[in-house]
Structure 1
Amino acid sequence: MQLIREAEARDIEPMSVLMGHLGYPTTVEEMEHRFKNISMTSTYHTQVAEVSGLVVGMVGMVLGLPYNRNNPYVRNVAFVVDEDFRNQGPDQVYCKQLKSGPGVEMLICSC
């Protein structure tokens, strides 16, 4: 079963592993520091993908305000799915869910 949900402090360890999959080796302590700061910033949002209770993906997004339009946009600033789960669902579910966000005029996504 797949679940996309808001990231929580309990996800810090698997998120640090996922950052390594992106090519940015990250310790649990570093991810804890980053996630704490990101979580306190209202324009940032982090989601994780779970498969059978295991965190296998994450996406970090930031809400932006463009100069050339009236509606905000969402920018994908981190997107990763564990190598063992790529092309098996979580990555496609993320992109579909991201592209259907309410009140967002455009999306900058690496999907």
Structure 2
Amino acid sequence: MNAAIQTVDVRKEAGQWFKALMLAGLILGLMMLASGAYASDGTEFDAAVTKWDGWVKGNLGKLAALIAIGVGSVVAAVKKDWSWFFGAVVLSMGIGVIVGIVNASFTAVI
């Protein structure tokens, strides 16, 4: 009796997996068909990228870096743990570097 129940469970589970894979395949196929309708020249995000780049590299980015270093300095002084200060310095410098990497990756010629 146990073998019969296990066989039914395996068939039921296999049927569920088959349905899930068929649904995923259908959705993927529809997405591939519809992707041509949404193709563009890739300039729809230029204004947002320019604004973000201006924020990070401009006065707002410099202010955020100074605030991070200030908070890191205060916490380091209170807790006597200099990893907070160095973490703030790395975070402040890292954001500037990451923005350059992201801009380079989006403007790369494929």
Higher relative contact order (CA 8 A, sep 6+): 1
Which TM-score tier does this pair reach, normalised by the shorter chain?
under 0.3
* Greater share of residues in strand: 1
- Output the TM-score relative to the length of structure 1: 0.25
More helix by share: 2
